[in-house]
Chains A and B, each alone.
Chain A
């Protein structure tokens, strides 16, 4: 009996010692404020990452202003933010050069239809036709004879802009690519799902992490079924990558660098996965 107690006590001591040494190894000397900002879509995951990081580094404050990917990138270029958050890729037209994008999470965009809808696959062209209002009947894309109810998100939504960008919709100054104005507009991922669940002829798009297969059916895009594997292997193309953006060649402050490292660390990536996103590592 006594031996057992001793062993247990010893183990507890060892564990305690391990913890004290481990915490000594953590960088605790970091201080200061890291200014970051940008995408609103990454709010949930970014807030949990920042929360956990600040638990380890109590003297560091990570500011995160939510003002959209565009502003995040712009303000990183101008030097206002050390780290910008973007839920879209950097533009390649030169307006956003001089920046380095660091991907840390992938969010798939699922095409969802009612569970009674027999359609299994839609191509990019078919989606474009449906969302611009040129294809109006399900029979044109291999379904039953019924009019399509297009469900979309409000303008400004990150999911909408990522979806539109991939499918080629909503291009500026090109009215033929504008989404059909009679589309039902909802203001959240959950509302898209509910609308599609209740309407047998509806089609919508939403964040893959929130899809509930008891309520809606996902449709393949260009012949590829959406899943964690196809997202990670880059075969399912309808997705968006969450990026951290920094200035190319600029020296980051210790705290900012530590935060970047933390997001890409095993623990950071676990937090990403816990927020229903696909980690990049």
Chain B
């Protein structure tokens, strides 16, 4: 707001002087100022409009079905107008939680190796490979998952006497690989940002390298690592294509070795042929997903701010 007022003042001042008096340099300044202001403004408007749209399109079904029935109903059956999304919510939470847990541990291990243990050449090679991993489109992950991971899970399912199909486990596998690059690069930066004196101090006290890493470096970088995990959660919960190709997509309450439908998939798989209340229900899922993402952003924001404060002290 303050910026806006200041800008309004400068423009009103500029009106007082005639255009010829302004040097081209100042003119350019003003034009660029307006361009930047507009870009920022458009961005804000887009966010506000999207939020408004999500709420407006998502609310009718909640009014129709009732918030409790919608969020905690266990049966999703559009044919009989039963819209309960608990299976989707739980599947999404379970898949994301497991993926971030596994991916977080693994990613942290990789970043420790990159920062403290790997030689310079190996580290730079590994780093560019990880970056490559981040650039692969999600449909390719889905394809690989469907061809490599799903048949692997078939064997586990046969072992336990279950029908072979796409499963929550396969989805978790794929998500782990997909969120690795985010977690690795963010926690690598966090580990690098820890002052070198910490390490020297630890060595001086007689700690070994691994002791130093586990007891000093990782705890000092924990807020950075945590924000990497939260970013991973954001990526995992929003993933659609790759998950749809491996998860089997049945609307069951989540079990590792059975097919499961995640929130995102719930929307996209039925969108094309839906109409009326059914479509509104899908938009309602969108709203739930939107709220999840918002929560994640708030958490991330807090974490970063806290990290920043502790860094300044």
Interface residues of A (CB under 8 A from B): 40, 67-68, 71, 136, 147-150, 154-158, 170, 172-173, 178, 181-187, 194-195, 198-202
Cα distance A154–B250 in the bound complex, in angstroms: 9
**Distance of B61 from chain A, by nearest CB (Å):** 15
Which of B96-104, B217-225, B269-277 touches A? B269-277
**Hey, which chain A residues are within 8 Å of B252, CB to CB?**
181-182
User: B257 → chain A, closest Cβ, in Å?
Assistant: 11
14 new A-B contacts at CB < 8 Å, known A156-B272, A185-B259, A202-B165: A40-B273, A71-B275, A156-B270, A156-B278, A172-B79, A178-B79, A181-B251, A182-B163, A182-B250, A186-B249, A187-B272, A198-B146, A198-B151, A199-B154
Interface residues of B in 117-169 (CB under 8 A from A): 146-147, 150-151, 154, 161-166
* Cβ contact of B164, chosen from A149, A172, A185, cutoff 8 A: A149
Q: Which of chain B's residues have a CB closer than 8 A to the CB of A148?
A: 163
Bound complex: CA A173 to CA B78 (Å) = 12
In this complex, which of B146, B162, B166 has the most chain A Cβ atoms within 10 angstroms of its Cβ?
B166
- Give B171 Cβ to nearest chain A Cβ, in Å: 13
* Distance of A162 Cα from B80 Cα, bound (Å): 17
- Asked if A199 and B165 make an inter-chain contact with CB atoms under 8 angstroms apart, the answer reads yes
A184 to B150, CA, bound (A): 13
Is the pair A156, B250 in contact by a Cβ cutoff of 8 Å? no
Interface pairs A-B: 6 shortest CB-CB: A156-B273, A147-B163, A185-B249, A184-B248, A187-B269, A149-B163
Q: Which residue of A lies closest to B163 (CB)?
A: A147
Bound Cα distance A184, B153 (Å): 15
A172 partner residues in chain B, CB cutoff 8 A: 79-80
> Would you call B200 an interface residue if the criterion is a C-beta within 8 Å of the partner chain's C-beta atoms?
no
Contact call A156/B78, Cβ cutoff below 8 A = yes
Contact call B164/A199, Cβ cutoff below 8 A: yes
A209 → chain B, closest Cβ, in Å?
A: 18
Picked from B80, B162, B273, the residue with its CB within 8 Å of the CB of A154 is B273
Using A67-B275, A198-B146 as known contacts, say yes or no to A184 and B250 having CB atoms under 8 A apart. Answer: yes
**Considering the chains assembled together, what is the distance between the CA atoms of A40 and B272 in angstroms?**
9
Residue of A nearest to B146 (CB): A198
A140 to B251, CA, bound (A): 26
B268 within 8 A of A: yes
**What separation, in Å, do the CA atoms of A11 and B250 have in the docked complex?**
65
Q: Chain B 269-289 against A: per-residue CB contact (8 Å), 1 yes, 0 no?
A: 110111100100000000000
Q: Which residues of chain A are within 8 angstroms of B269 by Cβ–Cβ distance?
A: 154, 185, 187
- The interface size of chain B toward A, counting residues with CB under 8 Å, comes to 32
Assuming the A-B contacts A198-B150, A199-B165, A201-B163, are A185 and B273 also in contact, with contact meaning beta carbons closer than 8 angstroms in the complex? no
Kindly state the separation between the CA atoms of A200 and B274 in the bound complex, as whole angstroms: 31
CB contacts (< 8 Å) of A183 on chain B: these are 250, 259
Query: Which residues of chain B are near A198, meaning CB under 8 Å?
Result: 146-147, 150-151
Q: Are A68's CB and B154's CB within 8 A?
A: no
A68 and B275 within 8 A (CB): yes
Q: Contact between A154 and B150 (Cβ–Cβ < 8 Å)? A: no
Most buried by A among B248, B268, B274: B248
Q: For residue B63, give the distance in angstroms from its CB to the closest CB of chain A.
A: 22
Q: Chain B residues near A178 (CB, 8 Å)?
A: 77, 79
Q: Is the CB of B248 within 8 A of A185?
A: yes
Which B residues contact A (CB, under 8 angstroms)? 77-80, 146-147, 150-151, 154, 161-166, 244, 248-252, 258-259, 261, 268-270, 272-275, 278
**How far does the alpha carbon of A228 sit from the alpha carbon of B199 in the complex, in Å?**
76
Q: Are B78 and A155 in contact (CB under 8 A)?
A: yes
Q: Contacts A68-B275, A173-B80, A178-B77 hold; do A184 and B165 have CB atoms under 8 A apart?
A: yes
Q: Which residue of B lies closest to A191 (CB)?
A: B245
5 CB < 8 A contacts A-B: A149-B164, A154-B273, A182-B165, A187-B249, A194-B146
Distance A40 CA – B271 CA, assembled complex (angstroms): 13
Query: Closest A-chain residue to B259, C-beta based?
Result: A184
In this complex, what residue of B is CB-closest to A199?
B164
- Is the CB–CB distance between B164 and A200 below 8 Å? yes
Could you tell me if A187 and B274 are in contact, using CB atoms closer than 8 angstroms? no
Residues of B within 8 Å of A149, CB to CB, are 163-165
A199 to B248, CA, bound (A): 12
Chain A residues within an 8 Å CB radius of B146: 194, 198
Measured in the bound complex, the distance between the Cα atoms of B273 and A266 in whole Å is 31
A40, A148, A149, A178: most-surrounded residue (chain B CB, <10 A): A149
Complex contacts, A150 vs chain B, CB 8 Å: 163
Question: CB < 8 Å: which of B78, B147, B273 contacts A68?
Answer: B273
Residues of A within 8 A of B273 (CB): 40, 68, 154-158
Q: Are B270 and A154 in contact (CB under 8 A)?
A: yes
Residues of A within 8 A of B278 (CB): 155-156
**Given the complex of chains A and B, what is the CA–CA distance between A195 and B250 in angstroms?**
14
Residue of A nearest to B161 (CB): A147
* Assembly CA distance A183 to B261 (angstroms): 11
The residues of A that contact B244 with a CB separation of less than 8 Å are 187
Residue of B at shortest CB range from A186?
B249
- Rounded to whole Å, the gap between the CB of B191 and the closest CB of chain A is 41
* CA A173 to CA B79, docked complex, whole Å: 9
CB distance from A195 to the nearest CB of B (A): 8
The docked-state distance in angstroms from the alpha carbon of A183 to that of B163 is 10
Q: Which residue of B lies closest to A175 (CB)?
A: B80
State the CA gap A173–B272 with chains docked (Å): 24
B236 to chain A, nearest CB (A): 21
Contacts of A67 in B (CB 8 A): 275
Partner of B268, one of A170, A181, A187, A199: A187
